[in-house]
Structure 1
Amino acid sequence: MDRTGDAAAAAGLHLALARDADARRRIVQMAGEFRPYDRYGPPRAGFSWRNLSWDAGTKAGCFLLKWEAGAKSEPHVHERGEEFLILEGGLVDSDGKRFQAGDYIVYDPGTHHFSTAPEGGCLMLVFLRGPNRFDPA
């Protein structure tokens, strides 16, 4: 994906964190680059991310996740659920279901799966409700 900012801009996202006059509200301005995907320790090859509101303590929040073509997630279980919106490209889930730009996917708590990004990669907006448990079964 060579148009990394196009989808974010189209979604009305502005890439730096700022507080406005109301200290209870944060405004995320999307300046700078995505960083290596290191939410689970050492950076994962084929993935980069932009934290919007994800909290390391609760393991919940929102972030942009970029997948390079061929990137594959580890098999995992969503302990509290996950939702995501495909902004660019697509994904193929472990059951063969294909997701494309514009699809909004909801995984209920207890869902077990993994996904792969086909040619062209994927850019998604992720809403993670709690931790994932890695489970190869």
Structure 2
Amino acid sequence: MDPIKNDHRRVANIHTAEFMPIDTDGVPDGEVLQLNDARPLGAGFYVYRMASGTKSVAHRHKGDEEFLIIEGDLTDHDGTEYGPGDLVWLKDGTEHHSTTKGGCLIAVYADIPQDFPDR
């Protein structure tokens, strides 16, 4: 087996890598670390980070979404609370927004980038 070519591998450490700030129509909406630039931002596998005391923009999932809380806390708009180690699946079409008291780091897999129902 041949060694993996340099242009066939990307490595980033979630604690030291630079995350990309994202905003939705000028509203800050966390930060993303996504290595696969062949997929749209927010599609495939990525790490999402929210700062303490922030809220995500309300959105609708286009395709199922799965996420793992790595660090911190996250609360969905219906009051469901998640913490480190919680693995969550949200069905295609689910609408929600989330808040965090102390900040969080989440590993996410989404088939398709989310949709914003209020737009």
Q: TM-score, normalised by structure 2?
A: 0.79
Alignment of 1:57-96 (within 5 A): 60-96=43-79
What does residue 21 of structure 1 align with?
A: 3
> What stretches of structure 2 of length at least 5 have no aligned partner?
none
User: Which aligned segments of 4 or more residues in structure 1 are displaced greater than 6 angstroms?
Assistant: none
Q: Would you say the 8 A contact 1:37–1:43 is kept in 2?
A: no
What is the letter of the counterpart of residue 94 of structure 1?
Answer: H
Alignment of 1:1-137 (within 5 A): 21-22=3-4, 26-30=9-13, 32-38=16-22, 44=28, 47-53=30-36, 55-56=39-40, 60-118=43-101, 120-136=102-118
CA RMSD of aligned residues (A): 2.9
What is the letter of the counterpart of residue 122 of structure 1?
Answer: C
Greater RCO structure (CA 8 Å; 6+ sep): 2
Q: Would you say the 8 A contact 1:85–1:104 is kept in 2?
A: yes
Q: Secondary structure at the match of 1:37?
A: strand
Q: TM-score, normalised by structure 1?
A: 0.69
What is the letter of the counterpart of residue 117 of structure 1?
Answer: T
Q: Would you say the 8 A contact 1:86–1:101 is kept in 2?
A: yes
What is the letter of the counterpart of residue 58 of structure 2?
Answer: P
Q: 1:39 to 1:26 in 2, by over 3 A?
A: farther
Distance 2:82 2:28 in 1: 22
